[in-house]
Amino acid sequence: MQSFATLGHAGQVRRLKRLAGVALAQYPPAFGHLAPLTHEENTTFRAEDATGARYVLRISRPGKHTLEEVRSEVAWLAALRRDTGLGVPEPVPTRDGDLAILVAGEGVPEARICALFRWVEGRFVNAGLTPQHSAQVGAFAARMHEHVAGFVPPAGFTRGRLAAVDPAWEADTLGRVAAVRSPADVATLQAVIAHIRAALAPLGQEPDTHGLIHGDLHQWNYLFHRGAMRAIDFDDCGFGPFLYDLSVPLYELEDHPRFPAMRAALLAGYRRVRPLPAAHEAILPALLLRRRIDILMWNLDSREHPAFRDRWAAHVTYDLGRLRELLPA
């Protein structure tokens, strides 16, 4: 049986577009237009109904999440919209009231998990990102984390752990890297993990430091509309240290010419909503290393995907080199 990775790139998009049509038939609107958006970690399509209203249909990559995990993600999104008014995607239920469904399609080896969201208006900002934007990101993250303190997950709610540094994760990470890299690279990674574990120890596992987090809050997952920030793509959300939602945007901005100002604004925006003790702020560099390991493993796991198979090795080499440079003496 062919896997997600080995199917032809363009051919697979065509097959998934047909599957998307099958999925959309289960929703109340009558859709008249369907166009591909992305085909990387997941596959997304833009759909329009008869009134011109836009939606995003997300087809999950096989094996990434269970149906229960995706239903839990969209349950949290629905609660965020209901309780906070934060700009996050609005899940759309099927005619039967389901917020995530399993759909089979002709030519697709296995059924896929699909979820439909209303379109989030706004624009992405990259080169033009300013400290003011970063302050909004910090405040947004803090409001999410404040909501988590009072959020009562529904029965069956299940999401994975993020930014964990436990023996099982360490053994899995080192083993997968050892399969494709040198013993010296594995030793570097082992030393970095030991440093992260020691740095995170004072954080503990208390409710004021850990809970549900977005997990992937970089500048292609937040956008701005009429002066307000909105966040999309909660596909990686899970339970982890709240600080990780600050480490992700900081990691993406490390090479920004105004990084000190961006960092200061991000943390100031967070502190306007929620406390951030200086001792916790001091842990952020270790979480930036943890984020770099996550990106390294993502590149490693993407090596057979048609969009990345020519690039993954160079990215892994770069990530390991940066980990070596950044490891404190």
Rounded to 10 degrees, the C-alpha dihedral 70/71/75/78 comes to 80
**Third-level CATH fold of 131-326:** Aminoglycoside 3'-phosphotransferase; Chain: A, domain 2 (3.90.1200)
The structure tokens 């405040």 sit at: 139
DSSP 9-34: HHHHHHHHHHHHHHHHTTSSS-EEEE
| The pLDDT of residue 74 is above 90 | yes
- Is-same-fold flag (9-118; 131-326)? no
Distance CA 36, CA 45 (A): 4
34-63 pLDDT, tens per residue? 999 998 889 999 999 999 999 999 999 988
Considering only residues 288 and 3, tell me which one the structure prediction assigns the higher pLDDT.
Answer: 288
Q: Please state, in angstroms and rounded to a whole number, the distance separating the CA atoms of residues 313 and 296.
A: 10
Whole-number pLDDT of residue 258: 94
Over residues 144-196, the pLDDT tens digits come to: 999 998 999 999 999 999 999 999 999 999 999 999 999 999 999 999 999 99
pLDDT at 7 over 60: no
Model's pTM, two decimal places?
0.92
- Residue 170 CA, distance from chain mean position: 21
pLDDT of residue 307: 66
Q: How far apart are the first and last CA of the chain?
A: 48
Q: What CATH number belongs to 9-118? A: 3.30.200.20
Question: Given this model, what pLDDT does residue 110 score?
Answer: 86
Task: Please report which helix (H) or strand (E) contains residue 233, including its range.
Answer: none
pLDDT tens digit sequence for 92-128:
999 999 999 999 877 787 899 999 999 999 999 988 8
Q: Can you give the residue ranges of every domain in the chain?
A: 9-118, 131-326
Contact 318, 179 (CB under 8 A): no
E strand or H helix that includes residue 131:
helix 131-150
Q: Please, what is the average pLDDT of the chain?
A: 92
pLDDT, tens digit, 9 for 90 and up, residues 218-239 = 999 999 999 999 999 999 999 9
